[in-house]
Amino acid sequence: MPWLGFAAVGVGGGAGLLAASSWAGFFAGVAAAAASALVAWVATRPLQADLETLSTAARGLARELSSDPTSRNADTRKLAREVNELAEQTRKLSLAHDTLTAVLDRMPDGVWITSADGTIVRHNAALQELLYPMTTLTGQRPIAVLRSTQLQEAVVRACEAAEPARLEVPVEGLRPRTLAVDVVPLGKELGGSAAVFRDVSELRRLEKVRQDFVANVSHELATPITAIRGYAETLREGALRDPENAPQMVEIIHRQSERLSELVRDLLELSRLDAKEQKLQVEPVALAEVAARAAEAVRPKASSKGITLELSVPTELVAQADARGIEQVLLNLLDNAVKYTPRGGRVEVRGQTADGRCAVSVRDTGVGIEAKHLPRVFERFYRVDKGRSRDMGGTGLGLSIVKNLMTAMEGDVRVESIPGKGTTFTVTVPTQTG
Ligand code: ADP
């Protein structure tokens, strides 16, 4: 630990050296302080006190020299000037030390410094925070702190071969995280290494979400395309002249192409919402009218399944929302309610004021959703029962569109369900203002 040695020896005796008028010692002390200014943070706190003592002593000495009537010759005046300059340099060093300490202690990235043998000798507050609940870092080897042989080896290479490294280290425990680490050698003179840590967990999570999304989209598109191509080829190879099977194949091609266009429509809607391209027009919206329009759109499907569709939204319920957005939300919820309710069931739309907001719930007597799936149904492409959703013509995107629209309107959506009995989705939006 050469720099720690310097802090204790080079500067520590500054005042004493001056009192004894040992100029060589004084100059050596200041020169060593200058060389170490940039790594002052590495040194222990007493360095700061030493620099201040040195600066005060030098100023005192300069005053004494210039006022001493017995020594007013040119050499003494020159010496007094030099001592003054040194005092000024020492003050600057002290400031540099303070700045560096403040920067490192307040920076959001974690930093540690190791000695030449790879032991951690200093770290900043952010690193302590990143590695919480681990408390003792100083005096430890990297492997003992993060259990990563890769990081341990990187630190050793930085110390011994002056090789920098960049790597990612997983942190297990209560708060599993991924840390990106840059390890840099501190150079021959100082020995040792520094490492900078940044939490990249959220970045990696988003990358994974994006990759999964692309994989899901490709899969969802591939399924209908494969069916369309397969049946078209069969027809081309002769089935077209088969009056018994041809109409059925054409029907499948038509259904699958509808599925494709629904998927593309939902994807475009989501991407517009993501890009915040779609300008929401927030204005007073009579919820009874919007709910009635959404209900009319699903009524034919409900009737064909013998499902009773009931509306009970008071006319005075006026929300501050985007009319098209709220209609889309209710349409998606009603479409699902009808889709996942067996023949002869019942779907109700109720409106009321709750906690000063407008609340509209869509309740069905359908298949319900098990509790373990409830937190995930708003995720893109999440389906409780993949087969059932596809058979019903679902894209797996309806509820994520609902969630996005509600967020954009400063609204909220909740779900409650009892498997086998039914599901209730409730959306809330601000009430009309002004
Ligand atoms: P999908 O197009 O598959 O319906 P959604 O995003 O609209 O996709 O819904 C996600 C999943 O949530 C559905 O696949 C279904 O499993 C479940 N779900 C949604 N609404 C209901 C409901 N009213 N009753 C039962 N399950 C539902």
The confidence score (pLDDT) of residue 83 equals 78
Number of residues assigned to the chain: 434
- Assigned token pair, 360: 């509209």
The confidence score (pLDDT) of residue 72 equals 60
Q: Verify whether ligand 1 is closer than 6 Å to residue 404 (CB atom).
A: no
Residue range 322-331, pLDDT digits in tens: 999 999 999 9
Nearest 10 degrees: CA dihedral of 132, 137, 143, 146?
A: 10
What value, to the nearest 5°, has the Cα angle with vertex 302 and ends 284 and 335?
50
Distance from the alpha carbon of residue 162 to the mean position of ligand 1, in angstroms = 57
If residue 144 lies in a helix (H) or strand (E), which one and from where to where? helix 142-146
Amino acid code (one letter) for 142? P
Q: Verify whether ligand 1 is closer than 6 Å to residue 335 (CB atom).
A: no
Q: How many whole angstroms separate alpha carbon 270 and alpha carbon 380?
A: 10
Ligand 1: residue whose CA is nearest its atom 18: 336
The confidence score (pLDDT) of residue 47 equals 62
Q: Verify whether ligand 1 is closer than 6 Å to residue 402 (CB atom).
A: no
Say if residues 427 and 363 touch (Cβ distance below 8 Å): no
Q: Verify whether ligand 1 is closer than 6 Å to residue 361 (CB atom).
A: no
- Average pLDDT per 10 consecutive residues for the chain, totaling 434 residues: 29 35 43 44 56 72 69 71 83 87 89 95 92 86 94 96 96 88 92 95 93 92 94 94 93 94 92 83 95 96 97 96 95 96 97 94 97 94 84 87 94 96 97 80
Q: Verify whether ligand 1 is closer than 6 Å to residue 331 (CB atom).
A: no
Q: What is residue 341's DSSP assignment?
A: S
Whole-model pTM over 0.75 = no
The confidence score (pLDDT) of residue 176 equals 87
